[in-house]
Amino acid sequence: MLTQSVAYSWNAALAPDERHIVSTSDDGTVHLWDLDEQRVANRICAITGGLWTEDLWQRYLPQLPYRPPCR
């Protein structure tokens, strides 16, 4: 899961499964970043409840045709 951190990440490496990046921060935390786009999209949709409306899409991605990410 992606989380916000106030620390800087100084080191990052591809995990042995090649599906995650592992990073360490100067506050001693370790972060695991998922590289699978569909899993990340599914997580975002689960958290937000699919609130990405066509109006929001046009505001932030007007150059792209509307394709709702949460179906």
Residue 69 inside a domain? The answer is: no
**pLDDT at 4 > cutoff 70:** no
Q: What is the pLDDT of residues 28-56, one digit of tens each?
A: 888 889 999 889 888 888 988 878 889 98
What per-residue confidence (pLDDT) applies to 2?
47
Residue 4 inside a domain? The answer is: no
Domain with 26, as residue range(s), is 9-60
* Number of domains the chain contains: 1
Average model confidence (pLDDT) across the chain: 84
Residue 70 inside a domain? The answer is: no
Question: Helix (H) and strand (E) counts for the chain?
Answer: 2, 3
Residue 3 inside a domain? The answer is: no
**pLDDT at 15 > cutoff 80:** yes
Cα separation, 21 vs 10, whole angstroms: 13
**pLDDT at 6 > cutoff 60:** no
DSSP 17: T
Q: Contact, 35 vs 19, CB < 8 A? A: yes
